[in-house]
């Protein structure tokens, strides 16, 4: 078949996580439940932080931003997947695929940046506590978030514009539940060498380097933080270990998808791996970062409909 020009594309076909009809109802129910829990849990965090002046600190400022980004992150992919299963229609228009890809990259990379900034915030709070309010000033925190949004929006636009230069065959099948960059680039019928160069360079710049920085930050917290008692050292480590576990899950699965995309684009293995960082991580964040946090739980208990619910969270 001769490669068709990109202007002739009618739609992409998203094959989803499974082709078996008997599993569709199970997948629909599972992902609908995950989506509702993710949105509800992250909305609770935003509500608690915005309503309690005691939580107007850098840590909770970044946490509320992470919650907002996670809601947007999952809303970019899961509702479309649920719609496709419900209607039994796997198609997504060319324009819709590019739009989904843009916002997916935007919110995924914002998640990446916010996780990195939160690690630095914990490092300053634990190892430089006397200077914490000076270093992490409200002006700096706001500037970090603003610059992140602007730079990542441009970064996402770059990838989207580079995909627009590619050609695809009509009715191209994507073995995924959304239009992920690595999958779309590998399925192009035109030369994608430049796209791969930019994509893999971005993986190092936006993935490997921040993850290395986070690991370095936590190693400094554990080894260099001057905590006199073993109990104090354990407390400092325990406040960071859950964050590190989520960060590791996010980065290992995301890096695995993109670094192995050339070898796995014909199977569903990368789609399964993508679920871990694009669906599971936003689901875990409310539980790990805040619903087990006494300050957040205290803020939520001020709402008349929350006490009985919050008391059941361990």
pTM above 0.85, yes or no: yes
Residue 188 lies in a domain: yes
Return the number of other C-beta atoms located less than 10 Å from residue 12's C-beta: 26
The pLDDT assigned to 3 comes to 44
The percent of residues above 70 in pLDDT, for the chain, comes to: 81
Count Cβ atoms below 10 Å from residue 129 Cβ, excluding itself. 10
93 within a domain of the structure (yes/no):
yes
- With vertex at residue 259, the alpha carbon angle to CA 256 and CA 265, rounded to the nearest 5 degrees, is 90
Q: Counting every residue, how long is the chain? A: 314
Q: Domain limits at 256?
A: 6-310
Let me know if residue 1 belongs to a domain.
no
In a domain, 19, yes or no: yes
Q: Name the domain count of the chain.
A: 1
164 belongs to a structural domain: yes
- CATH number of domain containing 245: 1.20.1070.10
Vertex 109, ends 104 and 115: CA angle to 5°?
A: 130
**Residue 17 CB partners (closer than 8 Å, separation 6+):** 27, 177, 268, 271, 272, 275
pLDDT, tens digit, for every residue of 159-170? 999 999 998 887
Do the domain assignments include residue 289? Answer: yes
User: CA-CA distance, 173 to 11, in Å (whole number)?
Assistant: 9
- Beginning with the edge strand found earlier in the chain, give each strand of the sheet holding 11-14 in spatial order: 91-93, 11-14, 172-174
Asked if residue 170 belongs to a domain, the reply is yes
| Average pLDDT over the chain, rounded to an integer | 83
Please write the tens of the pLDDT for every residue from 94-141: 999 999 999 999 999 999 999 999 989 988 888 888 889 999 999 999
Query: Is a pLDDT exceeding 80 seen at residue 302?
Result: no
């Amino acid at each position: 078949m001769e490669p068709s020009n990109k202007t002739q594309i009618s739609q992409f076909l998203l094959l989803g996580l499974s082709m078996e009809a008997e599993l569709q109802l199970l997948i629909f129910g599972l992902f609908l439940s995950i989506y509702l829990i993710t949105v509800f849990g992250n909305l609770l965090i935003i509500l608690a932080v915005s309503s309690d002046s005691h939580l107007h600190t850098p840590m909770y400022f970044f946490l509320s931003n992470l919650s907002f980004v996670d809601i947007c992150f999952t809303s970019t992919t899961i509702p479309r997947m649920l719609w496709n299963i419900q209607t039994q229609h796997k198609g997504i228009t060319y324009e819709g695929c590019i739009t989904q890809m843009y916002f997916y990259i935007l919110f995924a990379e914002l998640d990446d940046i916010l996780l990195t900034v939160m690690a630095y915030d914990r490092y300053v709070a634990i190892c430089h506590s006397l200077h914490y309010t000076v270093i992490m000033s409200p002006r700096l925190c706001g500037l970090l978030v603003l610059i992140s949004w602007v730079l990542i929006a441009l970064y996402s636009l770059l990838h989207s514009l580079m995909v627009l230069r590619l050609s695809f065959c009509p009715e191209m099948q994507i073995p995924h539940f959304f239009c992920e960059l690595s999958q779309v680039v590998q399925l192009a019928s035109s030369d994608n060498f430049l796209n791969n160069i930019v994509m893999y360079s971005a993986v190092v710049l936006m993935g490997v380097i921040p993850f290395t920085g986070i690991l370095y930050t936590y190693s400094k917290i554990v080894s260099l933080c001057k905590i006199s008692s073993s109990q104090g050292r354990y407390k400092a480590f325990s406040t960071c270990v859950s964050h590190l576990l989520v960060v590791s899950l996010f980065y290992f699965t995301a890096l695995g998808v993109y670094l192995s995309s050339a070898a796995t684009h014909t199977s569903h293995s990368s789609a399964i791996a993508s679920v871990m960082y694009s669906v599971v991580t936003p689901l875990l964040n409310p539980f790990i970062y805040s619903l087990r946090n006494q300050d957040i739980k205290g803020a939520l208990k001020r709402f008349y409909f929350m006490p009985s619910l919050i008391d059941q969270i361990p």
